[in-house]
Amino acid sequence: MTNMADKIKGCLFGVACGDALGATLEFMSREEIRKKYGRLTELTGGGHWRLKPGEVTDDTKMTVAVARGIVSNPVDPIPCIREEFIKWFQTDPPDIGTTTKIALNLLTEGLTWEETAGRVMEIRGEHAAGNGSLMRTAPVALAYLDEQLIRDMARKQSMLTHPHPDALFACELYCLILREILTGSGINSAIWSMLEREDREDTYHSFLQNAGESEIDSGGYVVSTLRTSLWCLLRTSNFEEAVVKAVNFGDDADTCGAVTGGLAGAYYGYKGIPDRWKKAIVCRDELSQLAQELYRIRSKKA
C-alpha cells in the first residue's frame, strides 16, 4: 500500500474506531465513566445503543454515505450524497440526530436542499449548529486535492442537514486540516497553520492554547466537538491515545471519537491503528473498498 492509500484507509477506519469505541460511552458523564470503566480502551459494544463489539453508529454510516456519493459521481457528488442520506434514513436508524432527522424528512418529501436549509434554520435555530455534518465530512478531503473544491464540498455536504454557519465553518476547517495532513504536514503544524490562516474570529485558537481538561465540553455543539478533538490531537502522540482521550470525556463520545479518529487515522495511518480495533470493526470490508475507490479518485486528479 502506498503511503497515501494507507492514510486514506487510516482516516476511514479512524472514524469508525473512534465511533465504535465512543458509542459505549455516549450520554455518560466523566464521573459515570470513571466509576463503570475506569478508562475505556476496548471496543466492548454495549452502552445506550446496546451495540455489538465493533459495531458503528450514525457517524460512520453517514461518513460512508458521503464517501459513496463522491464515488458515484466525483464531479457532482451532492445529489448522490443526498440520495445516500435518504437511503440510510429509510433504514430507520435509531441513533439519528434531531437536526439530521428534520432535514432528511424534508429532503425525502422532495424539498431542494436550499428550501430544506431555510426550514431547518427556522425550526432548529442555534440547534442547527450540531456536530452531525462535521462527523461525516472527512471523505471530501480524501477524494479531492483542490483547496477551493474541498471548501465548497465540505460546506455543501453540511448544508444538506446542518446549514448553520458554525457547522459550515467547522466542516471546512476540518477538511483543510485533513488536507494538510494528507499532503505531509505534521499534526501540530497542520492544525496551527490552518487556524492561523482561517480562524479569524478566534473560535478555536485561544481555546486550544489555553484550555485545561476541566474546560472541555464534549457535547453536541459543533464547535465543542471540533475543539475537543483538536485539543486531544495536540496533546497525544499516537492514534490510540488520541481517540481514548477524546471518548473518555463522555457525552457525545462517539462523535468526538469519530472526529478525532479521522484526523488521527490520516496522520498515523492505517498501520498506526491498533490491530485489535481494526479487526473488530463490523463494516471493515466496506471501509477498505471505499478507501480504495477514494484513493483512485484522488490519484486521477493528481
**Annotated binding-site ranges for Mg(2+):** 57-59, 252, 254-255
Element (H, E) at 197: helix 187-198
Task: Enumerate the known binding-site residues.
Answer: 57-59, 252, 254-255
Choices 138-146, 191-199, 247-255, 283-291 (CB under 5 A): range interacting with Mg ion = 247-255
Cβ nearer to Mg ion, comparing 58 with 251: 58
Grid cell 454495549 — which residue? 46
Choices 6-14, 46-54, 191-199, 250-258 (CB under 5 A): range interacting with Mg ion = 250-258
Cβ nearer to Mg ion, comparing 58 with 180: 58
Q: What's the rounded Cα separation, in Å, for the pair 119 and 121?
A: 5
String of DSSP letters for 53-104? TT---HHHHHHHHHHHHHHH-SSS-HHHHHHHHHHHHTT--TT--HHHHHHH
145 Cβ partners below 8 Å, 6+ apart?
179, 298, 301, 302
Q: What's the rounded Cα separation, in Å, for the pair 46 and 50?
A: 4
Q: What's the rounded Cα separation, in Å, for the pair 84 and 61?
A: 10
Question: At closest approach, how far in Å is the CB of 147 from Mg ion?
Answer: 29
Q: What's the rounded Cα separation, in Å, for the pair 81 and 164?
A: 19
Question: How many residues interact with Mg ion (rule CB under 5 A)?
Answer: 4
Choices 37-45, 53-61, 77-85, 125-133 (CB under 5 A): range interacting with Mg ion = 53-61
Cβ nearer to Mg ion, comparing 71 with 258: 258
Q: Is 55 in the site for Mg ion (CB under 5 A)?
A: no
Cβ nearer to Mg ion, comparing 95 with 152: 95
Q: Is 240 in the site for Mg ion (CB under 5 A)?
A: no
Residue 148's identity, in one-letter code, is Q
Cβ nearer to Mg ion, comparing 21 with 176: 21
Assess contact for 59 and 258: CB atoms under 8 A. yes
Q: Where are the alpha helices (DSSP H) in 98-164?
A: 98-108, 113-124, 138-143, 147-159
Choices 49-57, 142-150, 162-170, 291-299 (CB under 5 A): range interacting with Mg ion = 49-57
Q: Is 57 in the site for Mg ion (CB under 5 A)?
A: yes
Cβ nearer to Mg ion, comparing 59 with 180: 59
Question: At closest approach, how far in Å is the CB of 113 from Mg ion?
Answer: 23
Over the window 251 to 280, marking each residue x when it contacts Mg ion by CB under 5 A and - when it does not, the resulting string is ---x--------------------------
**How far apart are the two ends of the chain, measured CA to CA in Å?**
17
Cβ nearer to Mg ion, comparing 18 with 272: 18
Applying CB under 5 A, among 11, 43, 55, 58 the residue interacting with Mg ion is 58
Applying CB under 5 A, among 4, 8, 13, 59 the residue interacting with Mg ion is 59
Assess contact for 260 and 229: CB atoms under 8 A. yes
Choices 39-47, 51-59, 211-219, 267-275 (CB under 5 A): range interacting with Mg ion = 51-59
Tell me the three cell numbers of residue 282: 463490523
284: number of Cβ within 10 Å: 16
Question: At closest approach, how far in Å is the CB of 114 from Mg ion?
Answer: 27
Residue nearest to Mg ion (CB): 57
Q: Which stretches of the chain bind Mg ion, using CB under 5 A?
A: 57-59, 254
